[in-house]
Amino acid sequence: MKHLPMSLLVAAALAMPALAQAQYMWLDEKGMKQLSDQPPPPSVPQNRILKQPRQAAAAAANAAAAQAAAPADAPPAPAPADKAAADKKAPPSIAERNADFNKRRAEAAAAEQKSQQEAKHNADTAENCALARSFSHSLDSGRPISAYDDKGQRYFLSDEQRAQRAKRNAEILSKCPK
């Protein structure tokens, strides 16, 4: 009974290397070395796989031998490792995840800029409409309205000028929200 915990510890220590050997190592399309416990994507050719578990290596060798022995006009049989890799979608690489993140960040920045522009436009429109309403009240009051000419001299609007300004102001107010 005394040796049972020690024997379990030794058995666990001996089982660890068997679990650690199920590793794949391959070169991706950019030449970067990739390490994973999942097989490489089917797009990776067999000559770019640097390391794989013994069972997968034997299966790949058997598949290569079967393809070599098959007649030239027969369609190639899919390798078991390739079939398993095709069934499982490979997780995105760090470069793909980084590109997705940068794309989302750029879209968020563009959306933020667009919303800021819309907010500024709405504020400008509200201010212009408030000024037009104020000018409309001034025109309706009947008080004399003054303006300045090109030389900087002040003059009062005639009835015709007042009517023209009232018409233009009404057009501006028609575009304003109520």
Residue 102 included in any domain: yes
Residue 142 included in any domain: yes
Which candidate, 50, 44, 15, 17, places its Cα nearest to that of 28? 44
Distance CA 108, CA 110 (A): 5
pLDDT band at 52 (very low <50, low <70, confident <90, very high): confident
Residue 73 included in any domain: no
Domain count, the chain: 2
Q: What is the pLDDT of residues 117-174, one digit of tens each?
A: 999 999 999 999 999 999 999 888 888 989 999 999 999 989 899 999 999 999 999 9
Q: Which domain holds residue 158?
A: 94-174
H/E stretch holding 148: strand 146-148
Residue 33 included in any domain: yes
pLDDT band at 74 (very low <50, low <70, confident <90, very high): low
Domain match, 44 and 101 both: no
Distance CA 108, CA 100 (A): 12
Res. 73: pLDDT tops 70:
no
Domain match, 98 and 168 both: yes
Domain match, 42 and 101 both: no
Residue 5 included in any domain: no
Measured in Å, how far apart are the chain's first and last C-alpha atoms? Answer: 89
Distance CA 37, CA 23 (A): 5
